[in-house]
Amino acid sequence: MNINQLTAREILDLIEKKKASPGEVYDSVLRQVKAADKEIHAYVRVHDAAGANSAGSPSVPVPIGIKDNICVTGVETTCCSRILQGFKPPYDATVIRKLKATGAVFVGTTNMDEFAFGSSTENSCYGPTRNPWDRSRVPGGSSGGSAAAVAGHEAIWALGSDTGGSIRQPAAFCGVVGLKPTYGRVSRYGLIAFASSLDQIGPITKDVTDSALLLGIIAGYDEYDSTSADVPVPDYTRALVNDVKGLRIGIPKEYFVEGIEAQVKRAVMASIDVLKKCGAVFEEVSLPHTEYAIAAYYIVATAEASSNLARYDGVQYGLRRQPKEERKSPLIDMYEETRDLGFGPEAKRRIMLGTYSLSSGYYDDYYLKGLKVRTLIKQDFDNVFRKCDAILTPTAPTTAFKIGEKSDDPLSMYLSDVYTISANLSGIPAISVPCGFSTEGLPVGLQVLAKPFAEETLFRVAYTYEQNTPWHKKRASL
């Protein structure tokens, strides 16, 4: 039995029945990391698991991968950027503190696009991650390392962050389950910021049950996060019922237009048929401002990124470089040299885009207008959720593309998130579950969206679909 291929729920059952020990589970995962990660490159560093569960009773001693933008005390955390080289946080992110309290075992730090800027995990200073289903293809991004670790059996489950689809799109590309919770449902304290009004930490897992289990651990109010929502956290496992009778699900016509691959569309339409047979009621709905979502997102997100990344200057932590010859002044020269060497091309591109949209004379034309469009997009969802319990769409318009295929075409890369970014702009929860494969054997993802703090609805729909299809049982062959 390959323990590393089991779900967290299955592993916890084995441990409870004394058919496996936490040490055996960790060893199985670590063997897989040593065997496969030279090729997959899901991790940028593997942790020393000794004492990992000393902070609490080991009630959930399940090996987990942590994205490289979530702070762990004393563990180098770089956002896969040279600018944070050598930075070791003096504190744990709230989600890490909660995991430690359950006895979680941290396998390692997973690869990502630098500062979460990307949709392919090619923009990492450590090099790209490869998709376990096809090593010539990307795993998606920016949480591609976390998704590849789970799909490649190098972690039982993992944490990612989602600013515009960075959990859901890689989950779709890698054939696993990815959840973006409602904004404020999970604390962002200790998450190194990309765009503070959009970022959200969430689980990447092998099935929907594990997603509900992991969200239950990390969710909840946190006084250290001013955007954390003080709302009760239910037992999400109670929503795992194989029943959607009477649920009203909307199909937005704007999501099934030119640009979607035929095989993706067929898989999603087949998913609708499955849920209809299970009793769900479908109707076509409209989200009329969807066409402006990409433009609004890349104004709001880059503006916030420009502001957040201004703190990286080589003074207090991370990389520091001084040119050999003085050009302007020692301080200015150090700033310029450090930032030029420290940031990669995509980070520089987004900093410049954001700085431009915030600059004097352009603030009203770009950033303020972007915020207004964001409000219209949120109102579109509010209107649909007055008559529907959930919305169903593709997660991504394509399956995983070749490594290097979109590297020279940033706009094409940005369009990879066309179906996911609206959930971040409106703050609603969304989940991606596997819904089939292309003729090339590449996973396809189905996205379910619900109203704010209605993660239970997501789990109910996703679990019902999962229990009536075979896709979640498929495993990448390594």
Residues tagged active-site: 67, 142, 166
Burial 274-296 (b: 16+ CB within 10 A, else e): bbeebebebeebebebbebbbeb
- Token pair belonging to 337: 């040299």
Rounded to whole angstroms, what are the CA distances from 48 to 27, 77, 99, 173? 12, 15, 16, 29
The amino acid occupying position 41 is: H
The amino acid occupying position 475 is: R
Q: How many CB atoms lie within 10 A of CB 78?
A: 26
C-alpha closest to that of 56 among 7, 13, 92, 3: 92
Alpha carbons 424 and 158: distance in angstroms, whole number: 20
Classify burial at 170, counting beta carbons within 10 Å of its beta carbon; exposed 0-12, middle 13-18, buried 19 or more: buried
Alpha carbons 67 and 112: distance in angstroms, whole number: 7
On whether the CB atoms of residues 199 and 216 are closer than 8 A, the answer is no
Q: Which helix (H) or strand (E) holds 392?
A: strand 390-394
At a CB cut-off of 8 Å and minimum separation 6, what does 65 contact? 42, 43, 106, 107, 108, 109, 110, 145, 146, 149, 150, 154, 155, 157, 158, 159
What's the distance, CA 38 to chain centroid?
23
- Residue linked to tokens 């409106």: 426
Rounded to whole angstroms, what are the CA distances from 209 to 204, 289, 390, 458, 472? 11, 33, 19, 12, 11
Alpha carbons 145 and 125: distance in angstroms, whole number: 13
